[in-house]
Amino acid sequence: MADPSRRTPGSPDSRPEFVSLTLDRRRFLLLLGGAAAYASLPPALARAARHAARAAPQPWTLPDALPAGPIESARALIGAAILAPSYWNSQPWRFEVDAAEMRLTLDHARTMPACDPDQRFTQMSLGAALENLLVAARAWGQRPSVQYLPWGAPALPGAPLVAARITWEPGEQRRDRALFLALGARRSNPRHYDGRAITMQDRAQLLAQVPEELNLHWLDDRAEIRRVALLVHDATLARSRDAVGQGERFRWLRMSDGDARRTGDGITPERLGLAGPLGWLAAHALRPGGHAFAWGVGSVAHEAADAVRSSGALALLSAPRRQDPTFLMAGQAYERLALKATTLGLAQQPLSAPVESEPHRAMLAKRFGAAGEDPLLLVRLGHAHAPDPMPRRAVALVSTYRAS
């Protein structure tokens, strides 16, 4: 395994010019608008904004070996699965365990029908959880096998939608150890990266995580990255015009780390690139129908584009042909890529905004030379310090066990 400590992410002397803070007219107006709104806050609210607590890390450690006993081992595997990334940290997963198998099922209450009408991001989230589970099983010396089930067809009316059935038995050797060690350290990193390029060797290792059924297209030309940044900006603005979708997104926004810890899910303003008191204000402005809505959405779009511009490279995960488990497999592939990036000391962040609408998908595919393919997820890669972890709901809340 490559030593993650061999990098010095974000070392100031390696920072290129384009990520230094420039106050262009647009950003100045955004800040001015925010400052005015901030100044008009009641004192108690302003204090709360200043003292927004940092997230306390949850115990993100896993045992070094599979615990004995069927229930204990299933619990440990689920403990690995829930560390997976998910769309808006919605964690749309449930796990049903019985003597014969484990079933990964969809938690309907955690889906976002307006933002994700074909449930591609929901399925990718389940796929990421599945991959974590498989990585842990292999690292613990097990041989897991997976049966994918048709999406959208519960066996009985009212029954949960089962995405996959998983079984495991002892294998000959431990595999996937390097990725396993990254399970607790992987983060979706929304920060500005320092612009350093990704080496050919690292790129090859990332590409190797993607199965034959999918493609990973790569961009590291600075002019091309800037063009994609514009696309991300426009897509972020465009999606906010759908009030229902915006309402769904707002539902997963947690205004403080304390709120996120209490619910164990959702994302904080910082994860949208809205750091500090102004960011906190901009996040509040995202409430649909609010008087500062345009300013809030503009801030998110502006920050997203700036973040993309600071990337060392962009990768587009796409499918040449879509079959039933494509989205699930895409989640698995993305998670392997994210874990591999972690072992290489690279920062990464998935970006769904430019993949949420058909017109932007087509433009994105064209930019990456993937016309005719189905873009699944845009990922920015680079070098930056890791953010604090986002909270998770406990294993006990997302799993049920039956003895027979």
Q: Which residues bind ligand FMN (CB under 6 A)?
A: 85-89, 121, 124-125, 128, 187-188, 190, 267, 271, 349-353, 377, 390
- What are the b/e assignments for 214-243, b being 16+ CB within 10 Å? bbbbbbeeeeebeebbebbbbbbbbbbebe
Min CB(404)–ligand FMN separation in Å: 34
Min CB(119)–ligand FMN separation in Å: 11
Whole-number Cα distances in Å, 105 to 127, 302, 305, 338, 354:
11, 36, 35, 23, 27
- Edge-to-edge strands of the sheet including 215-219? 215-219, 313-319, 374-382, 347-351
Min CB(111)–ligand FMN separation in Å: 12
Min CB(2)–ligand FMN separation in Å: 21
Token code pair at residue 331: 């989640």
If the CB atoms of residues 184 and 276 are measured against ligand FMN, the closer one turns out to be 184
CB 342 within 8 A of CB 4: yes
d(CA 354, CA 248): 17
Min CB(80)–ligand FMN separation in Å: 13
If the CB atoms of residues 175 and 383 are measured against ligand FMN, the closer one turns out to be 383
d(CA 104, CA 162): 6
Min CB(265)–ligand FMN separation in Å: 9
If the CB atoms of residues 298 and 350 are measured against ligand FMN, the closer one turns out to be 350
If the CB atoms of residues 175 and 302 are measured against ligand FMN, the closer one turns out to be 302
d(CA 147, CA 104): 10
Q: Of the candidates 358, 6, 344, 101, which has an alpha carbon nearest to the alpha carbon of residue 207?
A: 344
If the CB atoms of residues 140 and 334 are measured against ligand FMN, the closer one turns out to be 334
d(CA 256, CA 55): 9
Q: How many CB atoms lie within 10 A of CB 350?
A: 23
If the CB atoms of residues 10 and 92 are measured against ligand FMN, the closer one turns out to be 92
